[in-house]
Structures are given as structure tokens and as C-alpha cells.
Chains A and B, each alone.
Chain A
Amino acid sequence: MTLTIPALRARGAKRRRRRPLAVTLAIAFLLAAAATGALAPLLAPHSPDATSLLDSLAPPGTAGHLLGTDSTGRDVLSRLMYGARLSLLAPLGVVLLSGVLGTALGLLAARAGGWVDAVLSRLMDIVFAFPSLLLAMLVVAVFGPGLTAPICALAVSYTPFLGRVVRSVAIQEGARPYMESYRAMGFGELRTTVRHLLPNMTPVLLAQSALSFGYAMVDLASLSYLGLGVRPPAADWGSMISQAQSAILQGAPGSGLIPGVAVLLTVVSVNVLGEHIGGSIARRGEGT
């Protein structure tokens, strides 16, 4: 165990390189969003579902309703906080599912090669060519609305996105001499792949996952907007935007704009973070 300490120290020194302001802001925003979602019952001033027709369409800044109310008088701030749960967790589910699937398929294709690679690669091309939203709508049409079906559908359609990257990086990394030297030492393919190849690919996986998180969030918001995702009255940012349509026509854009900005900021933050992780891979590549 003591032997790993210099390596850790070297890594720590690298991390201390100045982090760009945008990345710090992105991390801060994502942490804050996650925290408000987790602590919504404590932080929210009202119940997210409490309607009050007398207070409907209050503009932001109204006493008692900091961000105003929607057309049925529900508090926008409270709904935004509770909405953060589904709006962040659902894309996370998509990313995790497609991450596991994509990594497994990509690694299998890269390491097995031959016809396995050919079949898996063509399969991923086919799924890749199919529009993800269309697939999700198809699945919802079959299984009915709710979050599970669209999450699974999006995960499947995002799998090639990660799988193809994993495959090409695994082929590249697998050709490096250290992988061969482990083979010559008598180690099996599975063990070298899982213990040596995969850990050396994690930055790529993280960067790709961050990008798909952004896509998944927008896609899920679109599904909610179309009324195919979250079932009312449960709050999520996409359905909040969709329910605010009539309010926008009535000259009260707040209840729709605010969740829209929340989606926008989250997606931008995640992408900034992904870019940053991707950039540090490039730097590492120059270093060695």
C-alpha cells in the first residue's frame, strides 16, 4: 500500500493545476441543483402540487412566491426544486444504463475482433441511425407513459454513441505494448481488459457520459413536453415548460422560462465539465 503513495502524490499535483472559472461554476451549479433536489422537502416554501386558483400566474417576485406561480397557482420555485429530482435522476439513469451497455459492447467488439466486431459494429450503426426521440416515442406508445420506458429506450439509442467511442479507444489502447506484455506474462484477455485496459479508459468514458447526460436531459424534457414522460401532477422541468404554454400566451412567461433556463444551465454545465475532462485526456496524452 505504501508503494502507491508517490503515484497518488503525482496525481494530486496534476490536479492542482489551475481549474478554469467556467468549470468551477459548472461544478458549483450542478452540485447546487442536485442539493436542492435532494433537500426539496426542507427547502421548498410550498408543496409542489398545492394549487391556489386565486394566486394563479403571479409574476416572479410576488410576496410568498419568489419565482411566481403557474396557471393553476402552484409555486414555481417549489416545483423547480422538486422537479430537479426527476430532471437530474432520469438522465443519470439513461447515462448509467447506456454507459454499462456501451462499455460492455464496445470492449467486446474491440477485444474479440473478427466477426464479433463486425456484427456488433453494424448493429450499433443501425441503432445509431435510428432517431432516439422517435424510438422513445415508439416505446412509450407501446408501454404507456411513465419514466421507465423512455429511460430504457433512450439508453438503448445512446448505447452506440458510447460503444463506438469505447471500441475505437479500446483498440488503440489495447495495441499498446503493456497490454501485450500482460498477455506474454500469461494473463487472460478478460483480466487484462478489466484490470488494465478499462481503468486507463475512464477519462474518455467520463467525458462521453457527460455529453450524453446533456442530450438525455434535453430528450427527456422534450418527451415530458410532449406529454409522454412524467405523468402529471409530478413535477419535472420538461412538463413544467409544456404546462406553461398557455400562460406564455396570457403574457406570463415566467413559469415556462424559469424551468427552461434550469434545463439550459444544467446542459451547459455538464457539457463544460465534459469538455474539461476530455481536454485533460489530451493533456495527459501529450505528457506521456
Chain B
Amino acid sequence: MTSETPVLSVSSLVKRFGDVTAVDGVGFELMPGASLGIVGESGSGKTTTARILAGLDEPTSGTVLLAGEPVTGRSRRARLHRARLLQMIFQDPYGSFDPRQTIAESVAEPIRLHLPDLSGADRRARVAELLDQVGLSERAGGSPPRELSGGQRQRAAIARALGIRPRVLVLDEAVAALDVSIQAQILTLLDSLRRDTGIAYVFVSHDLAVVRHITDTAVVMRHGRIVERGDTETILRDPQHPYTRLLLDSIPVPGWDLDRVARDRRALDASR
């Protein structure tokens, strides 16, 4: 496998729920160590796309290639193959741990599943290393999730996802539920993890400031379609699609013109 092979390659992905088409012909590529933003509002299909990548939903049609190989189905082999290469971080840091397990036990679970030959001592060492890597104390590792703050839990979720050294991390609104100061900490952590491990990110978010910080390239989704793609900086500085402009104008800044935003939205909705 050369570094020229995209680690994740998605083409003409379609997902229908009954009459609703949530994802409509989405395609993109992700090179190893790259970071791609998927931007859009609620209902734009970005979370569904992320869930398909993680194998939580099956696409109606289209293909997902991981390291050049197609992944489909929920057979044991397919499941393990996919999880080895791609892990996901969820929006809700409060609910993403089994309340009966300590953080360290939760972090150990995927290692136990994917590296069953690892001895107990080695596994504990790996867990300690992971917790250290995300800046969690040994004491936090021994606590049940309810005793940790949201930021600590999201750190723990990152540690759990990194445990089996996946090549892609899908982050679905991973910092949206956190305070702004905590957001910054987590983003800084993600940045340094990417530099250290060479992992690639698919960063799903409605928050353009966050996307600007964490991604190199981005796609903008609306009604299940990609309406604009390119370098994150370029898109955010010089948006081509009216919807991207609208998203940018919707951010509250000094001199913000709410009426103009509402007018633009009506015009955009009418044009469709």
C-alpha cells in the first residue's frame, strides 16, 4: 500500500429512509493523515454519512473503500475489518460509556476484541499509555463515567477509539456538546494526535470555526448533496455556493444583519 492510496474513498453514496433521501450521491476521498470537514446544518445528511462510514447504517447504494478495499455488511469479518481501520467518536460524551464500567475497562474493550492475543499486563500498559496520551490521570481511568466531566469523557472516548490504532477517525459533532474552552482543549489534542500518529480525520460539524481549525479540506452538504468542496480556508474565505455563504453569514458577528440572512435563506429555499 503506497501513501498514494486514499485511506478512505467514498463514491456515489445514497441512503434513503422511506421516501426521504438523506444522502444523495456523496463522494469524497481522504488521504492518510489528512483531515476532511463535512459541513452542513441539521438534516443535511452529514451525520447519516458518518454513520454509514462507521457501519452503523447500510447505504442504499454506493461504495465505501477503506485502504482500497470495499467494506459492506455486518458479518463478523467485515465488522472487525472495518473497525480496525475506522473508528468513530460520538457527539454525546455523557452516554457513550457503559455506566457500569470504569473508564479504563471501557478503553480496554476494543483492544480485547481486536488484539485477543495481547496479555493482560500488555493490555493494561496500553490502556495506561492511551489515557496518558489524551491527558487523563490514572485516577480518572479508575472512575466510572458519571464521575468525569464532559471534556474528560470525550478524551476517554478518543483514547478508546485510538486503542487499536485505526487509520481513520470519524468525529460526529465531537465537540458540539462541550464548553468553548473545553472545545479548544479537545481540538488541540486532536491536532497533536494527528501529527503524532498520522491518523486521518473525517470531522462532521455545523460549527465553521471548529472546522476551520481542525480540517485541511472540506465538503459542504445540503439536502444530502455536496454543494461545494475544496480547501477549508478557501471555502470559508471565498464561498462559491450561496448556501455556504448563507452558513457563513449565519455566524453572529459585529454588524450582523439578521434580516439579510433570513432574506437569503428564503431566496435559496425558493430557488430549489
Would you call A186 and B105 a contact (CB within 8 A)? Answer: no
Q: Is A125 an interface residue (CB 8 A)?
A: no
Residues in A with CB closer than 8 Å to B79 are: 186-188
B105 to chain A, nearest CB (A): 6
Contact A178 B83 (CB under 8 A): no
In the assembled complex, the CB of B72 is this many whole angstroms from the nearest CB of chain A, namely: 15
Q: Could you tell me if B56 and A196 are in contact, using CB atoms closer than 8 angstroms?
A: no
Interchain CB contact under 8 A, A7 and B110: no
Give the distance in Å from the alpha carbon of A118 to the alpha carbon of B92 in the complex. Answer: 31
Evaluate contact between A185 and B109: CB separation under 8 angstroms. Answer: yes
Please provide the chain B residues from 77 to 99 with a CB less than 8 Å away from any CB of chain A in the complex: 79-80, 82-84, 87-88, 90-92, 94-99
| One of A187, A196, A200, A288 near B146 (C-beta < 8 A) | A288
**Docked-complex contact A176 and B95, CB < 8 angstroms:** yes
Report if B266 contacts A (CB, 8 A). no
Known: A184-B88, A186-B82. Contact between A5 and B142, CB under 8 A?
yes
- Are B56 and A185 within 8 A (Cβ)? no
Taking the complex as formed, is B237 at the interface, i.e. its CB lies under 8 A from any CB of chain A? Answer: no
Contact B109 A182 (CB under 8 A): yes
Residue among A4, A7, A182, A196 with the highest chain B CB neighbour number at 10 A:
A7
Within 8 A of A (CB), among B54-83: 54-56, 76, 79-80, 82-83
Known: A3-B104, A3-B105, A182-B109. A196 touches B98 (CB 8 A): yes
Residue interface mask A117-146, B partner, CB < 8 A = 1: 000000000000000000000000000000
CA distance A183 to B157 in the complex (A): 14
Contact B90 A288 (CB under 8 A): no
Residue pair B97, A178 in contact (C-beta under 8 Å): yes
Q: Which of A181, A186, A187, A196 makes the CB contact (< 8 A) with B90?
A: A181
**Alpha-carbon distance A188/B96, docked complex (angstroms):** 17
**Which of B98, B102, B113, B141 sits near A186, CB closer than 8 Å?**
B113
> How far is B91's CA from A180's CA once the two chains are assembled, in angstroms?
12
Cβ–Cβ contact B143 & A183, under 8 A:
no
State in angstroms the CA–CA spacing of A10 and B101 once bound together.
12
Contacting A at CB under 8 A, from B22-71, are 54-56
Summed over the interface, the residue pairs from A and B with CB atoms below 8 Å come to a total of 82
- Is A177 positioned at the interface, with any CB of B under 8 Å from its CB? yes
Q: Which residues of B contact A183 (CB under 8 A)?
A: 55-56
Residues of B within 8 A of A199 (CB): 100
- Asked if B129 is at the interface (CB within 8 A of a chain A CB), the reply is no
Q: Which of A7, A176, A200, A287 contacts B102 (CB 8 A)?
A: A7
Contacts of B83 in A (CB 8 A): 184-186
**Contact (A185, B110) CB under 8 Å given A3-B102, A7-B102:** yes
Q: Are B55 and A184 in touch, CB under 8 angstroms?
A: yes
Q: Which residues of A contact B239 (CB under 8 A)?
A: none
- Number of B residues contacting the other chain (C-beta, 8 Å)? 38
**Nearest opposing residue in chain B for A288, CB measure:** B146
Q: Which of the residues B96, B102, B104, B147 comes within 8 Å of A178, measured between beta carbons?
A: B96
**A188–B76 touching, CB < 8 Å:** yes
Report B100-120 CB contacts with A as 1/0, cut-off 8 Å: 111011000110011000000
Cα A183 to Cα B105 with chains together (Å): 17
A180's contact among B82, B90, B100, B146, by CB below 8 Å, is which? B90
Question: For the complex, is A20 an interface residue (Cβ under 8 Å from B)?
Answer: no
Interface residues of A in 226-266 (CB under 8 A from B): none
Give B91 Cβ to nearest chain A Cβ, in Å.
Answer: 8
B230 touches A (CB below 8 Å): no
| Chain B residues with CB below 8 A from A178, complex form | 95-99
In the bound complex, CA of A68 to CA of B88 (Å): 72
Render A157-200 as a binary contact track against B, CB cut-off 8 A, 1 for contact.
00000000000000000001110111111111000000010011
Chain A residues in 8 Å Cβ range of B82:
186
CA distance A193 to B141 in the complex (A): 24
Q: Which residue of A lies closest to B50 (CB)?
A: A184
B126-161 contact mask (Cβ, 8 Å, vs A): 1 or 0: 000000000000010111101100000000010010
CB <8 Å contact, B98 and A200: yes
Q: Is A114 among interface residues, defined by CB-CB distance under 8 A?
A: no
Q: Binary interface profile of A, 1-17, with partner B (CB < 8 Å = 1, else 0)?
A: 01111110010000000
A127 → chain B closest CB, angstroms: 32
Report yes or no: B87 in contact with A185, Cβ–Cβ below 8 A.
Answer: yes
Tell me the bound Cα distance from A288 to B100 in angstroms. Answer: 12
User: 12 pairs across A/B with beta carbons < 8 Å?
Assistant: A3-B141, A4-B105, A5-B142, A6-B139, A178-B96, A178-B98, A182-B98, A183-B56, A185-B160, A186-B113, A187-B79, A196-B98
* Known A180-B56, A181-B157; 17 more pairs at CB < 8 Å: A3-B102, A4-B102, A6-B143, A10-B143, A176-B95, A177-B90, A177-B91, A178-B96, A182-B98, A183-B55, A185-B87, A186-B83, A186-B110, A187-B109, A188-B79, A196-B100, A199-B100
Residues of B within 8 A of A (CB): 54-56, 76, 79-80, 82-84, 87-88, 90-92, 94-102, 104-105, 109-110, 113-114, 139, 141-144, 146-147, 157, 160
Closest 10 CB pairs of A and B: A186-B83, A177-B95, A177-B96, A184-B88, A184-B54, A185-B110, A6-B142, A3-B104, A186-B79, A177-B92
